[in-house]
Amino acid sequence: MSKGMLQRLDRGTRIYALLLLALILLWVGWALYEDPQVAALNRRLEADPQVSAFPYRFRVLRLENGVATMSTPRSSALPVSRVLGILFPHVAGKAEDSDAFQAAQRQLARVQTRARDLVLEDPGVKSVRWELDRGWLGSYGIQLSPAY
């Protein structure tokens, strides 16, 4: 809002507009804020060649009382074949006992374990809890019930 526009408004409307603008700025700041410890852990993940090269971006979402909550594309509510088909298109539709499918599944497990271990190296982290990345799955058209 320009200064000229504010001067044309009556005093009450001007105060309301400034309060509204302040609330919007606070909300944007809150939405964009990332805990410095969480940011440091995510930088650690991004700096690791194995984790950063993986098709899924493992992230620390929050850190509370020494428990790091990390995102994962994998859930017991979803067949692993769906997730692996997204991460590794060359295994989409392959039998679960195929060599390519098994290799992709091992790679997912290996990189997820590596991401967890990197986070656990931080002295402020005692344990890791996994949280399903519904946004990532939704971007591929996969919707799960809220129970998962």
For the chain, 148 residues long, give each residue's pLDDT as a single digit of tens.
555 665 676 777 777 777 777 777 766 655 565 678 999 999 999 999 999 999 999 999 999 999 999 999 998 888 889 999 999 999 998 999 999 999 999 999 999 999 999 999 999 999 999 999 999 999 998 887 776 5
Count of structural domains, the chain: 2
Residue 6 sits in the same domain as residue 44: no
pLDDT value of residue 8: 73
Domain range enclosing 20 = 1-33
CA–CA separation, 140 and 54 (whole Å):
17
The CATH number for 76's domain is 3.30.300
Residue 113 sits in the same domain as residue 88: yes
Q: In terms of Cα–Cα distance, which of 39, 40, 36, 53 is closest to 114?
A: 53
Residue 40 sits in the same domain as residue 57: yes
Residue 16 sits in the same domain as residue 53: no
State how far the alpha carbon of 137 is from the alpha carbons of 18, 37, 78, 94, 144, in Å.
39, 26, 10, 20, 9
Residue 55 sits in the same domain as residue 79: yes
Entry pTM: 0.74
pLDDT value of residue 28: 64
Domain-located, residue 74: yes
Residue 5 sits in the same domain as residue 59: no
Residue 22 sits in the same domain as residue 69: no
Residue 107 sits in the same domain as residue 92: yes
pLDDT value of residue 130: 96
pLDDT value of residue 53: 96
Domain-located, residue 146: no
CA–CA separation, 84 and 102 (whole Å):
10
Beta strands of the chain (E only): which ranges? Answer: 60-64, 67-72, 127-132
Residue 69 sits in the same domain as residue 25: no
Domain-located, residue 145: no
Residue 109 sits in the same domain as residue 44: yes
